[in-house]
A and B are shown apart, each in its own frame.
Chain A
Amino acid sequence: MSAATAPTMPKMPSSETLKQAGRVGSSPTPSQLLPDATLIRWLRDMMLIREFELRTMAAYQQAKIGGFCHIYIGQEATVVGTFAAVNHDDPVVTAYRDHGHALARGMTPEACMAEMYGKLHGCAKGKGGSMHMFDRPNHLYGGHGIVGAQTALGAGLAFAARYDWEVLNKAPGAPVLDGSGHPADRPRTPAGKKVCLCYLGDGALNQGCFHESLNLAGLFGLPVIYVVENNGYSMGTSIERGTTMAHNLVLKAAGYGIEGIEIDGLDLLSLYDKFKPYADRCRENQRPGFVDLKTYRYQGHSMSDPQKYRTKEEVQKYQERDSIDRLAAVLMSPKGEPAVGGHLGRGCLSEEQFKDMQREIKEEVRLAVEFAEQSPSPEAAEELYTDVYANPQPGLSSIRDYHHGVRNSLL
């Protein structure tokens, strides 16, 4: 189901199952302690991603977006739930299925959409495109196109974070690690303990770089959590066909001295409840983590995927457990009453408010598309050579030598 229609209430669990699940009458879970407004914001974040992706698909189909496009629909809870458990200044790095990460980290839908349009007002002037969303102010160190290669970057970001806290904090006048160079004019605010979130797909588990990175992280004690967004497929290859120990991935991490956990990625509240204490521990102990986050993508791998490798029934089975529907149902269910997924209803969202939210989001994304359409395209003469080196380099093959016949070295 898309966020465009109101959720139907999924079947209620019996109070017996709830007791077994320990949700009723036991101590509150981390998410139960959060204010309603936070949970409503999570719902909104997931709905925004979904609506954004629907418009992205439409724009791609109209050939307004080029490159390849990997849609995040179905996986919204993974990014919203894991981000919720860390701080905004904890570094994040991910693979190419990255629109959700960009939006949830705080990139405006305008900048994200314009990037995919290849326009100048995109987050990277339209140079990176769909697969390479960068947002340094929001501590998002990119989507990455080479499957698995970002896992080493996660280790490096975590190293720098730990170094900042352990070493630079104690060195008077030490530089600030924010890309601004040296701190002469900027006093250093003491760095806290950080934890890096490094996302990867299940396919990336098969790359050598992943194993090198886990070993490094385990060996050096790097505060990085490898979050496997395990949607069961690497393009057309199911995880069972491509990866050993698919049924027990945490054992892979165990081999590197990392204690991993498995989490159901379709239920945002239980995801948060499990992930939050885990992330806190990784931060506190400055140790790596590994999460097998089981999720599902509803769309094809990219926009040109005939999906011969799975059945419609399988997709439908997951859609029936849709994360947006589930959270909406919990928020709408009467306060304290048993609701879907063994959670207690919050009674903090009416049908009306939900619909208003949908309308607002639709409008927000519509404006983002409009913005992208109207944003100027980059000019070759201006942009082909900018941002290649920090300082302009002499002696590069001059674009003017060829461009539009302006000057030819023989003319």
Chain B
Amino acid sequence: MASLTLVQAINLALTQEMEADDRVVMLGEDIGKNGGVFRVTEGLQARFGADRVIDSPLAESGIIGTAIGMAMAGLRPVPEIQFEGFLGPAYDQIVNHAARYRTRSRGSVTIPITIRVPVGGGIHAPELHSDSPEAIYVHTPGIKVVMPSSPYDAKGLLISAIRDPDPVIFFEPKRIYRAFREEVPEDEYTIPIGKAKIVESGNDLTVISWGATVLQCVEALDKLPEDLSVELIDLRTCYPIDQDCLIESVNKTGRCVIVHEAPKTCGLGAEIATIIQEHCFLSLRAPVQRVCGFDTIMPYYKLELEYLPNADRIAESILACAAY
């Protein structure tokens, strides 16, 4: 057991999967010699060689398309995209190829790639380096979307993603890359894709979040009166959504607040709110609340903190929902 940051936990998972399986290869811009823009792949090229940790040209469509071709032939590529904004040039390959080949080939071809992408705001980055596009990919059948909020989960989920026979987008919330440490077992372990985690149990109200925002939710819980018992759920996998966990919780509490960084309209919160009203209608005692980013371009850093849901906004919404 070692106390690791998110970056270290991911690096460890990559190392162990590369050791365990020669089919695992990585490619991306500056991931080898330089260890990646966030140094997540530090040391891997030195250890596994330039044939397995490949410095690619600056070409996202090429990186993802090539990785898909490798995967079709049976390799297990783990490409890296430097920032979520640069998924743009690769979008065509992800949505029109990776997501569809299993269906298109009637199950004969499957695409076991894991696309690693730093995601979200909070590091004072410019525009195109701070977005939260998970809902776009959730809305793409054929792809799984994962977003851990802690080093322990990151390691277990990444190993699951690499071993998963289907394409997975593995979003890494960049603002918590080095924000805190957690005990992470040295041994390999997996956390199933599609399983949420109850971070805090409670009876009065359910808060649902994922990625770095889970931390703001934890902070918000500290601002609430002692006698308000809140259940905090970390979705961990954005798709497939762990519906059972959410439904069971809201049927118990009757109140629900969803928190995410992406813009509100058509964010994943909208889907979750719908699942809840479909399944928990008679248990609900208040309208489902959403605390989200705004329907605007993720602003440059001066207004970044105004945009991101913070503990105050979350606590306020929880109190309003509880008092309804």
Residues of A within 8 A of B (CB): 66-68, 118-119, 126-132, 145-149, 203-204, 206-209, 234-237, 241-243, 308-309, 377-378, 380, 383-385, 388, 396-397, 399, 402-403, 405, 408-411
Binds A, one of B139-147, B188-196, B312-320: B312-320
Known contacts A68-B126, A241-B55, A402-B313; A380/B303 CB under 8 A = yes
Question: What chain A residues lie within 8 Å of B312 (beta carbons)?
Answer: 405
**CB proximity of B225 to chain A, nearest CB, Å:** 16
Question: What chain B residues lie within 8 Å of A408 (beta carbons)?
Answer: 316-317, 320
Nearest to A115 among chain B residues (CB) is B300
Number of interface residues of B (CB under 8 A): 50
Known contacts A68-B126, A127-B299, A385-B296; A204/B58 CB under 8 A = yes
The 8 A CB mask of B276-312 against A (1 = contact, 0 = none) is: 0000000000110101101111011111001100001
Partner of A309, one of B34, B59, B287, B323: B34
Are A384 and B307 in contact (CB-based, < 8 A)? yes
Are A237 and B57 in contact (CB-based, < 8 A)? yes
Question: What chain A residues lie within 8 Å of B307 (beta carbons)?
Answer: 380, 384
Question: What chain B residues lie within 8 Å of A132 (beta carbons)?
Answer: 126-127
Question: What chain A residues lie within 8 Å of B313 (beta carbons)?
Answer: 402, 405
Are A410 and B287 in contact (CB-based, < 8 A)? yes
Are A403 and B296 in contact (CB-based, < 8 A)? no
Binds A, one of B82-90, B149-157, B203-211: B82-90
Shortest 3 CB-CB contacts between residues of A and residues of B: A66-B301, A118-B302, A67-B126
Inter-chain CA distance A128–B129, complex, in Å, is: 12
Question: What chain B residues lie within 8 Å of A396 (beta carbons)?
Answer: 265, 294-296
B74 within 8 A of A: no
Are B30 and A67 in contact (CB-based, < 8 A)? no
In B65-87, which residues have CB < 8 Å from any A CB?
Answer: 85-86
Partner of B291, one of A308, A383, A402: A402
Known: A146-B128, A208-B61. 15 other contacts (CB 8 A): A66-B302, A67-B124, A67-B300, A67-B301, A131-B127, A145-B85, A145-B127, A148-B89, A149-B88, A206-B58, A235-B29, A235-B30, A309-B33, A378-B303, A396-B265
Are B62 and A206 in contact (CB-based, < 8 A)? yes
Give the one of A147, A308, A377 with max B CB within 10 A: A147
Known contacts A118-B300, A237-B58; A410/B86 CB under 8 A = no
Nearest to B323 among chain A residues (CB) is A410
Question: What chain B residues lie within 8 Å of A241 (beta carbons)?
Answer: 55
Inter-chain CA distance A396–B297, complex, in Å, is: 12
**CB proximity of B92 to chain A, nearest CB, Å:** 9
Question: What chain A residues lie within 8 Å of B324 (beta carbons)?
Answer: 410
Are A385 and B294 in contact (CB-based, < 8 A)? yes
Give the one of B297, B302, B312, B316 with max A CB within 10 A: B302
B97 within 8 A of A: no
Known contacts A308-B34, A309-B33; A203/B296 CB under 8 A = no
